[in-house]
Structure 1
C-alpha cells in the first residue's frame, strides 16, 4: 500500500507550537515512538489522523495558521526545500508538484494561465481533513513570502467548507479570507507568481533534483506486487474486482499476477479483502455516506455480505466503526 514520509522536524514543530508529541500520537491512535526514528513512513489515514489530533489538542487559534506561521527553510521536506532554488513561485510550484508524492498523500494540480493556480487533488476516500487543506493553502503564502522576501498576498483562496470564524485567517492573509469553492485552491496574481526568489539557494536544485528523480524511480520500481495490486484495486473498485480484470490493469496475466503474489506470501483474495477493509474504514470514518452506498463502493452487491465481511475484518458493525470515529 502507499505510504508517506513523516518529516523528521514534525516532532520539534509540534513541541514549538505548545503540543506534546506523545499526546498527539495517542490521540491519533498511533504508536508512541512513531516520530523518533528517521525515515518513518505511514498510511494516508494515519497521516491525516496526526493533523486532526494536532488540531484537536492545539492550545491556540486555528492550528493550520499556527503551523503556516512556523514554516522555515530548515524544516522543509527535501522536495519542498529544493523548490527554494527556483526562479519564482510558479516554477517552484511545478517542481514541488512533480515530487510531492514522495512525502505527501495529497497531490497538486498547478496551472499558470491567467495567474498561478495551485489546487489540492486528493484521492477519495482518503481525503485530507479540513485543517490540512487549510494548511496546504496557507503554506504556499508562507513559502512565497519566505522565498521572495516580500509579504505576498494571494488573489483568492477557496475551500469546500470555509471556517465560520476567519479573523486569524484574514490577519495572516492581509485581508483575504477563505471563500467557498468546489475544491481547495489558492490563486496568485501574475505579478506575484513571477516575483524573483532571493539569493541564497542557487545550486540547490541541481544538487537535489537527481536525488529526487532517483527516489521517485526507486519508489515506482520497488513496489511489491501486493502494493501494485492494492493500488490498482483502489483505482478501479467497485467496477473491477476480479483477478483477470486487475491483472489487465497491471498489464500482466492472471496466472503471473497470482504467482507473484504467492511469492510474496499473499494472494489476490487477501489483497482484495485488505483493500476493501481499508476503503470501508475510510468511508465510514471520513464520510457521511449511507451503508448501502459504502457497500457498493467497496465492491459488494449485497449489504448483508458487506456487514458480514466487516465484522470478520474488524469485529465491528458499520455503525460501531462510525461511532468510534466520532470525536
Structure 2
C-alpha cells in the first residue's frame, strides 16, 4: 500500500447515521463513487479523504460539526486501531498505540510530548494547508471524547489549539464543550495534565488488545512495504481503464503527483508509462480472454480502447496472435 493510500472501515456509516447526514449526498458533493463506504473497507487517497471531509462539512451545514461528532462517538463505531486505544489502560498508553497505528486509517502523523509530566498530542497532516478545518478539529476532539468515555469523568484538556479562526459563537461553544479556550496554532495539538494522562480507563481490556495487536502489526508491515512506482501506476490503471482513462495525466491525478514527477519516478525504475500501460493491458486481456465469456468488443472497452480494431492491432503487436486465437487455445485446454 502506498503511504498516500490508507484503508477506511465501515464504522463511519453508523456515525453519519447518528448525525442524521445522508452518505450518498456527501459522496456526490465530494465527487467520489457511491461504492465508497458501501463495502467493508475502501482505500482512499489523502486528496479523496480531504474532499470527503469538505463535503461532509458542507452537507451537515453545522459550524459545530466537530463537537457533534465528539458527542456522538461510541466505542462500537471505532475501527480496530481506534478500539485498541479504547482498550488501553490509560490515555497515555492509548496515544502511544495510536501513534503507531493511526497511519493505517488516515493521513495523519501523531507526535507525543510528555515533558513536565503533561501529555501533548500534536497532529501533522500532509499538505496541511489543504486539510479541512472541521477534520482537524474533529481529530483533536476525538481525544477529549475518548478520555471522557473511557474514564467516565469530565476530562478537560489544559490546551486545545488548531489553525482555525472561529466566530465568537463558535469559540464560546468550544469553550463550553472543552472547558478550555480554543487557541489558534499553526500545528493542531491537544494537551492533557499528567493526572488525566494517567487516569485509569474503565474500558481497559488486555485480552481485546492481545486479540487486535497481531492483526494491526501485520497490516502495518504491509503498509510500510512500499510498492514500486510502476506497481502503483498498474494499480491506478486497473481503476482507470474501465472508465476509459489511459493517459499519464489521469494516472498522475489518481496518485496525486504531477505527470512530470510520475514519469521521472518511472524512469528511475528503468521503465515508462507506456510500457506499464501496455503490460497492464496485455495481462488484463489474457485474463479476460481465458476466464470470461465477454465479447472482444466488451474487453476492448474495459481496456480503454476507442474501438475493437485498435485492440486487435495492439494485441497482435504484443503477442503475434489474435484475441480469437488466444480464446480458442484456452477453450481447448
- Say yes or no: TM over 0.5: yes
Which residue of the partner structure matches residue 140 of structure 1?
A: 143
Matches within 5 A, 1:86-105: 86-105=88-107
Q: Which stretch has the larger CA shift, 146-155 or 156-165?
A: 156-165
Q: Aligned partners of 2:274, 2:28: CA distance in 1, in Å?
A: 36
* Aligned match for 1:173, one of 173, 178, 183: 178
Which of 44, 57, 60 is matched with 1:58 structurally? 60
1:193 aligns with 2:205: no
Count of residues in correspondence between the two structures: 255
Contact 1:90 1:112 in 2 (8 A): no
Q: Label 1:228 to 1:36 Cα distance change in 2 as closer, same or farther (>3 A).
A: closer
Choose between structure 1 and 2: higher helix proportion.
2
Name the counterpart of 1:48.
50
Structure 1 position 127, deviation (Å): 3.9
1:77 to 58, 66, 79: 79
TM-superposition CA deviations, 1:155-207 (whole Å, max 9, x none): 00111223123222122113x12111121100001111110111452312221
Q: Distance in 2 between matches of 1:8 and 1:39?
A: 6
CA distance in 2, matches of 1:260, 1:138: 45
Whole-angstrom distance in 2 between the partners of 1:122 and 1:260: 31
Q: Are residues 1:129 and 2:132 paired?
A: yes
Contact 1:120 1:184 in 2 (8 A): yes
User: How far is 1:74 from its partner?
Assistant: 0.7
Structure 1 residues 241 and 15: alpha-carbon distance in aligned structure 2, compared to 1, 3 A threshold? closer
SS of alignment partner, residue 115 of structure 2: coil
Distance in 1 between the 2:9 and 2:262 partners? Answer: 35
Q: Which residue of 1 aligns with 2:158?
A: 155
- Residue 107 in structure 1 maps to residue 119 in structure 2: no
Deviation at 1:6, TM superposition (A): 2.2
Gaps of 5+ in 1: 248-252, 268-327
**Structure 2: runs of 5 or more not aligned:** 234-250, 280-333
In structure 1, the partner of 2:227 is 223
What is the TM-score of this pair, normalised by structure 2?
A: 0.68
8 Å contact 2:161–2:190 — kept in the other structure?
Answer: yes
The aligned residue for residue 213 of structure 2 is 209
Query: TM-score, structure 1 length as denominator?
Result: 0.69
Q: Distance in 2 between matches of 1:15 and 1:96?
A: 25
| 8 A contact 1:159–1:184 mirrored in 2 | yes
Task: Classify the secondary structure of the residue corresponding to 1:258.
Answer: coil
